[in-house]
């Protein structure tokens, strides 16, 4: 198929490269000239394991190109909308200006028979208004909604081997044409038996925000249990393990700690609440307000713990923060819990040094007042307290005996319940974690597999 991908951020760049890898002729249209040029050289403008290689191999076949010129859209027959829908400044609602601008550009180049496929996460009802724009400009074009469930850090795998595909289709011939085009695009993925859910436009839009809301709720649920554990001296990691064995609950996405951040879950649950309000069903999602509140409280709790550890005040104290990205294997710092904690501690006068394997450049740009170090040793040198806030594998695997040589006091706060408390305690560190007793009563609990 001849495919265009409109908007080459995390979603679009990965989608373009993966569609070319499936054998299609793909052009990525990216309004930012520099980004388009970088992508055309086979470099991802962000950290995503495996993407550079895939871009380069696909570019080499001649089946993938990137351009900042909208005219390239004219050659494609299937157009994927992959632009961002960030949170509006000062509001919960999603900013749809990029989506509308993308569609306005696209409709200029549509031909009869073209299929426009929305992938951006949008408030339910948006696809219907895009359909109006498309059919007004080109009555013989079709619209479908095909939400994306990729996770940063695993984006290539999630695109080429997704858990499921969802098509939101219009009724009648328009839907049939869109379905045929999508089946052709995803042929190799469908051939592997990937489940496919075909539904209408509004349900498809809802599926995406429902999925992210459920994931956010799961995380906040276990973090609410962490609050209880802190009040009762219980161990939230053992709670997660024990309830997670019930297949109806499941252990995945039940890792207690600093909570969720990033460019998706926080803004998606807020936009969902805003949309529910517009639809007059805000009560249905009032629990998401609590999900959000629990999530934010974990960050404050982390700062409180740091203060407790430092005897009531962190002013002037040397504190090392391991992790800046919102999660490991990403350089994304949007709504990063780690940087939020680092900033709060800095505002309270602490002498904070942050390190991260991939997100330092982004973090430096956004938080010019914070201090950064390229290496763990550089960050922890002379520290009175070390905070693990993003569970990069290289931090989880740190040797506490070795690290002890660099710090002023061996005290660690584990914001992700990712370190082995027994090993760290045995190495002479004072270990505390969110949702666990000061010294782990039962270190065996820890050894249970962290999925
Ligand atoms: C999320 C969803 O997982 C994807 O399915 C979805 O496609 C994507 O949003 C999107 O809407 O585009 P992502 O933002 O890449 O993906 O990150 P997640 O892996 O969901 O992690 C989100 C946050 O939750 C991270 O800060 C992570 O540290 C935190 N988290 C995750 C926990 O605190 N506990 C857990 O058990 C799992």
Indicate if the pLDDT at residue 33 is higher than 80: yes
Ligand 1 pocket: which of 215, 329, 433 to mutate (most atoms within 8 A of CB): 215
* DSSP states of 206-272: HHHHHHHHHHHHHHHHHHHHHHHHHHHT--HHHHHHHHHTSTTT-STT---SS---SSSHHHHHHHH
Residue 326, pLDDT score: 98
Nearest-CA residue for ligand 1 atom 21 is 260
Average pLDDT, the chain: 95
Tell me whether residue 401 is one of the annotated catalytic residues: no
Question: Which numbered atom of ligand 1 lies nearest the CA of 10?
Answer: 12
Indicate if the pLDDT at residue 121 is higher than 80: yes
In the 3-class helix/strand/coil scheme, how is 292-351 assigned residue by residue?
HHHHHHHHHHHHHHHHHHCCCCCCCCEEEEECCCCCCCCCCCCCCHHHHHHHHHHHCCCE
Split at pLDDT 50, 70, 90, the class of 451 is very low
Ligand 1 proximal residues by C-beta, below 6 Å: 121, 148-152, 212, 215, 219, 253-255, 257, 259-262, 264-265, 326-327
Indicate if the pLDDT at residue 113 is higher than 60: yes
Residue 207, pLDDT score: 98
Q: Please compute the mean of the pLDDT values over residues 365-390 and round it to a whole number.
A: 97
Q: Please compute the mean of the pLDDT values over residues 21-35 and round it to a whole number.
A: 97
Which one is catalytic: 8, 18, 82, 264? 264
Residue 439, pLDDT score: 46
Residue 125, pLDDT score: 96
pLDDT, tens digit (0-9, with 9 covering 90-100), for 94-104: 999 999 999 99
Nearest-CA residue for ligand 1 atom 23 is 260
Tell me if residue 358 falls in helix, strand or coil: coil
pLDDT, tens digit (0-9, with 9 covering 90-100), for 44-95: 999 999 999 999 999 999 999 999 999 999 999 999 999 999 999 999 999 9
Ligand 1 pocket: which of 118, 150, 151 to mutate (most atoms within 8 A of CB): 151
Quote the percentage of the chain above a pLDDT of 90: 96
Q: Please compute the mean of the pLDDT values over residues 183-199 and round it to a whole number.
A: 98
Question: Which numbered atom of ligand 1 lies nearest the CA of 212?
Answer: 2
Residue 173, pLDDT score: 97
pLDDT, tens digit (0-9, with 9 covering 90-100), for 415-447: 999 999 999 999 999 999 999 965 444 444 444
Residue 437, pLDDT score: 66
Convert 64-75 to b/e letters by CB count within 10 Å (16 or more is b). Answer: bbbbbebebbee
Residue 443, pLDDT score: 43
Nearest-CA residue for ligand 1 atom 11 is 264
């Amino acid at each position: 198929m001849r495919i265009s991908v409109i908007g080459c951020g995390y979603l679009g760049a990965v989608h373009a490269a993966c569609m070319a890898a499936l054998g299609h002729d793909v052009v990525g249209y990216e309004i930012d000239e520099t980004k388009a040029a970088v992508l055309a050289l086979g470099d991802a403008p962000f950290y995503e394991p495996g993407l550079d290689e895939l871009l380069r191999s696909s570019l080499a076949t001649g089946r993938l190109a990137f351009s900042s010129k909208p005219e390239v859209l004219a050659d494609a027959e299937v157009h994927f909308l992959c632009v961002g829908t960030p949170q509006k400044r000062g509001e919960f609602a999603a900013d749809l200006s990029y989506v509308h601008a993308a569609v306005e550009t696209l409709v200029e180049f549509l031909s009869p028979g073209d299929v426009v496929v929305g992938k951006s996460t949008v408030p339910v009802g948006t696809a219907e208004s895009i359909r109006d724009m498309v059919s007004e400009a080109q009555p013989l074009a079709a619209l479908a909604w095909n939400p994306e469930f990729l996770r940063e850090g695993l984006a290539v795998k999630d695109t080429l081997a997704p858990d499921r595909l969802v098509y939101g289709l219009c009724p009648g011939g328009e839907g049939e044409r869109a379905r045929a085009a999508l089946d052709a695009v995803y042929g190799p993925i469908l051939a592997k038996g990937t489940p496919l859910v075909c539904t209408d436009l509004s349900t498809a839009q809802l599926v995406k925000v429902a999925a992210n809301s459920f994931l956010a709720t799961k995380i906040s649920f276990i973090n609410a249990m962490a609050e209880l554990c802190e009040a009762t001296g219980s161990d939230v990691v053992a709670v997660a393990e024990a309830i997670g064995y019930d297949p109806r609950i499941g252990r995945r996405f039940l890792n207690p700690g600093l909570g969720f951040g990033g460019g998706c879950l926080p803004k998606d649950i807020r936009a969902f609440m805003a949309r529910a309000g517009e639809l007059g069903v805000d009560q249905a999602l009032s629990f998401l307000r609590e999900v959000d509140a629990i999530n934010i409280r974990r960050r404050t709790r982390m700062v409180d713990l740091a203060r407790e550890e430092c005897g009531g005040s962190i002013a002037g104290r040397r504190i090392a923060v391991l992790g800046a990205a919102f999660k490991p294997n990403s350089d994304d710092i949007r709504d990063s819990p780690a940087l939020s904690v680092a900033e709060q501690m800095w505002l309270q006068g602490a002498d904070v040094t942050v390190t991260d394997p991939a997100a330092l450049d982004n973090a430096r740009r956004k938080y010019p007042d914070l201090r950064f170090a390229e290496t763990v040793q550089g960050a922890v040198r002379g520290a009175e307290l070390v905070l693990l806030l993003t569970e990069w594998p290289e931090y989880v695997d740190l040797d506490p005996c070795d690290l002890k040589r660099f710090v002023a006091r061996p005290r660690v706060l584990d914001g992700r319940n990712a370190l082995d408390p027994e090993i760290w305690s045995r190495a002479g560190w004072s270990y505390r974690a969110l949702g666990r007793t000061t010294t782990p009563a039962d270190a065996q609990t820890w050894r249970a597999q962290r999925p």
